[in-house]
Amino acid sequence: MFFRVPRFCLTMAAAAMILPAGNAMAQEVSAQRCEKALRDLSAELKRNGATLRAVYDGQSGASCSYRDIRIDGGYPKDPTFEAARITVAGSILAWNGEGTLPGSDLMLSAEGLRLIPRDNDARAAALQQAQSRLGPLRLDLSTSWNAAAKTLQIARLDLASSEMSILRLAAGVKNVDLSTPGAAQMSQVGFAITDMDLELKTFALAETGLLPMIFGVMPEAQGGSDPNAATKNITDKKLALRGEINNLPDAAFPPASGAALAAFLSDLPNARGKLLVNFRSGSGFGPVRLARFALTGPPANVKEAAPIFDDTRFVIEWRRGDRS
């Protein structure tokens, strides 16, 4: 589940990096090219199980603009992304889809963005969708792919509401080959995150729809329609997770990081502050690390999962009340 969102994002990045087709490396951006880019992106996402709906809304200079965008992920719990408008620019718009360029860069901005979590519980899904619609978001993304090194660099990802930046992220990912659709699909299981700097402000988690995603990685809560039983169950799950945090390997999670995680967990669902995560790994962290459990099944607890954190370092801070 940890890799569900990264995998979906990599699928979108892979599709975007190979979407335009043509023979000229520096072909001028035109309305026809923007429309073809949309068709190619839709086809590529479809091959990955996702669906795209959007309307081409014009071309200005070196950028293409689209409106009324909706992307549904290909897995049962993938979120749905909606946006009022998306503008795309960068050398990606000259990509020929044959893997002959040394690299590609992408600049993307989205307005009126909504992240709608999916849930098997119809009541929870309705609540989550209502929450997500209370806070349309703005996204600015700058990323580049180096074909020779097979690395994807996210220079900037900034997700903001009308009041403040909610999430900022910069990251490096290796073992990423976006030269062809087949190579891109293989990268979904072979990629590894080598570095990540994340800043999350939690003052509007519920309204933006991010809170349901956080709880989506927690053990499923029981209690049916009884609010007291459901609350008690969530409290019990938080206590259980607190115990697991105490078992995280010190080499990967210094004591101060574990304490910050525990404090953040205890403040949920009304956490109000800034969560900072600094991650580094020489060998990278990705799906391949989980392959060791293919025969034995998933680990029953954090102690059994400890080997997947080898050669990783998480420095985490929870700054309660920090709006800066």
- 55 within domain boundaries: yes
90 φ/ψ sector (left φ>0, alpha ψ -120 to 50, else beta): left
The confidence band for 2, taking pLDDT boundaries of 50, 70 and 90, is: very low
pLDDT at 9 over 90: no
Highest-confidence segment of 52-56, 102-106, 224-228, 288-292: 52-56
Specify whether 246 is located in the same domain as 292. yes
- Identify how many contiguous H helices and E strands the chain contains and give both numbers: 9, 10
**What pLDDT, in 10s, does the model give residues 198-247?**
999 987 665 555 555 555 554 444 445 555 665 666 677 778 888 889 99
Sequence-distant (6+) residues with CB within 8 A of 23 are 96
pLDDT at 143 over 70: yes
The three-state secondary structure class of 308 is helix
pLDDT at 307 over 70: yes
- 213 within domain boundaries: no
Provide the token pair at 194: 């080598």
Average pLDDT over residues 86-103: 68
Beta bridge partners of 106: 143
Q: What's the number of CA atoms in the CB half-sphere (13 Å) around residue 213?
A: 21
- Check residue 284 and give its pLDDT: 95
- Check residue 152 and give its pLDDT: 93
The confidence band for 174, taking pLDDT boundaries of 50, 70 and 90, is: very high
pLDDT at 293 over 60: yes
Specify whether 271 is located in the same domain as 299. yes
Specify whether 166 is located in the same domain as 243. no
- 275 within domain boundaries: yes
CB 281 within 8 A of CB 312: yes
- Distance, CA of 11 to CA of 291 (rounded, Å): 20
What are the CA-CA distances from residue 52 to residues 12, 44, 164, 266 (Å)?
11, 10, 28, 38
**What pLDDT, in 10s, does the model give residues 26-47?**
456 788 888 888 888 888 788 7
Neighbours of 135 (CB within 10 A): 20
Specify whether 26 is located in the same domain as 149. yes
As for how many domains the chain has, the answer is 2
Specify whether 247 is located in the same domain as 313. yes
- Check residue 227 and give its pLDDT: 56
133 φ/ψ sector (left φ>0, alpha ψ -120 to 50, else beta): alpha
- Distance, CA of 180 to CA of 101 (rounded, Å): 12
Neighbours of 184 (CB within 10 A): 22
Residue that is last in its domain, among 143, 169, 200: 200
Q: Please tell me which residue, 256 or 183, carries the higher pLDDT value.
A: 256
Average pLDDT over residues 141-165: 88
Average pLDDT over residues 140-151: 91
Specify whether 154 is located in the same domain as 21. yes
Average pLDDT over residues 114-137: 62
Structural domain range at position 181: 4-200
Q: Please tell me which residue, 72 or 15, carries the higher pLDDT value.
A: 72
- 107 within domain boundaries: yes
Specify whether 85 is located in the same domain as 227. no
Query: Which residue bears the tokens 């839709």?
Result: 42
Q: Average the pLDDT over each of 127-131, 136-140, 258-262 and give the range with the smallest value.
A: 127-131
- Check residue 128 and give its pLDDT: 59
Specify whether 139 is located in the same domain as 24. yes
- 222 within domain boundaries: yes
DSSP state of 223: -
Sequence-distant (6+) residues with CB within 8 A of 95 are 17, 18, 19, 20, 21, 101, 104
Specify whether 105 is located in the same domain as 49. yes
33 φ/ψ sector (left φ>0, alpha ψ -120 to 50, else beta): alpha
What share of the chain in percent tops pLDDT 90? 35
Residues 218-255: b if buried by 16+ CB within 10 A, e if exposed: eeebeeeeeeeeeeebbeebbeebeeebeebbeebbee
Q: Please tell me which residue, 135 or 3, carries the higher pLDDT value.
A: 135
- Distance, CA of 274 to CA of 290 (rounded, Å): 30
Average pLDDT over residues 150-167: 87
Specify whether 170 is located in the same domain as 293. no
- Check residue 208 and give its pLDDT: 56
Average pLDDT over residues 79-90: 89
Compute, in degrees rounded to 10, the torsion defined by CA atoms 145, 108, 167, 311.
-10
- 225 within domain boundaries: yes
Average pLDDT over residues 167-196: 89
Provide the token pair at 247: 């078992």
Name the average pLDDT for the chain.
Answer: 79
Specify whether 181 is located in the same domain as 257. no
